[in-house]
């Protein structure tokens, strides 16, 4: 299969998980989704990542996002690992962990990079929108834990820029000023869309308060 790229339709799949059989599209429904892979169960970095993600349950929920993790180990092994995560990270993992023992999903999403490790999945993250399009792909080395505050920040940006004619600048966080997209040039339309006005640093760089705040 060709490498998955931004804008592609995320492949559907059915696979066992820590909560039983899951069909990916049915699980997502009309929600946004975050699918993230782990090299294996009982790995220390993953334990911290899954624990922190569980603590962000309310943050994902208020953005309409469903989370789904993946590890190449079988479902029965996931259960013991979840107990460890809950105990050591002082949380409760309630989202499913896919049991990808046959590497079906790992292959669909190109999560195994042979030059890094021939059998273990890399730390991949996919943000998928309600139309099932892939909107973000980040791949980390196995030794580096992911920044899930950044995942939330990107979701905030995607949801904002999908509904308004703006882009978000470097290090932007929800509530900060944004950039009017260069393709929008009609001043009457700009006044309607951005009643708080804007500052033109350059003709192509127009800063305006976040329009939905």
Output the CA angle 43-93-47, nearest 5 degrees: 15
46 is catalytic: yes
Tens digit of each residue's pLDDT (9 = 90 or more) over 101-136: 888 998 889 876 554 454 455 578 999 999 999 999
pLDDT digits (tens, 9 = 90+) for 145-204: 999 999 999 999 999 999 999 999 999 999 999 999 999 999 999 999 999 999 999 999
Q: Which of 28, 34, 46, 65 is catalytic?
A: 46
Which pTM does this prediction carry?
0.92
Domains of the chain, first to last:
14-146 (3.40.30.10), 164-208 (no CATH)
């Amino acid at each position: 299969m060709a490498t998955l790229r931004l804008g592609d339709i995320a492949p559907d799949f059915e696979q066992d998980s820590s909560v039983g059989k899951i069909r990916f599209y049915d699980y997502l429904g009309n929600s946004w989704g975050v699918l993230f892979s782990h090299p294996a169960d009982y790995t220390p970095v993953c334990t911290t990542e899954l624990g922190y993600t569980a603590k962000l349950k309310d943050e994902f929920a208020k953005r309409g996002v469903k989370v789904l993790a993946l590890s190449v180990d079988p479902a029965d092994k996931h259960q013991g690992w979840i107990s460890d995560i809950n105990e050591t990270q002082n949380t409760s993992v309630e989202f499913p962990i896919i049991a990808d023992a046959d590497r079906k999903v790992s292959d669909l999403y190109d999560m195994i990079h042979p030059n890094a490790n021939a059998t273990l999945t890399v730390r991949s993250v996919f943000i998928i929108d309600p139309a099932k399009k892939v909107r973000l792909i980040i791949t980390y080395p196995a030794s580096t834990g992911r920044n899930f505050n950044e995942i939330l920040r990107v979701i905030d940006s995607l949801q904002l820029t999908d509904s308004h004619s703006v882009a978000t600048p470097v290090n932007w966080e929800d509530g900060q000023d944004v950039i009017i997209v260069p393709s929008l040039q009609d001043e009457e339309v700009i006044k309607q869309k951005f009643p708080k006005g804007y500052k033109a640093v350059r003709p192509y760089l127009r800063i305006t308060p976040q329009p939905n705040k």
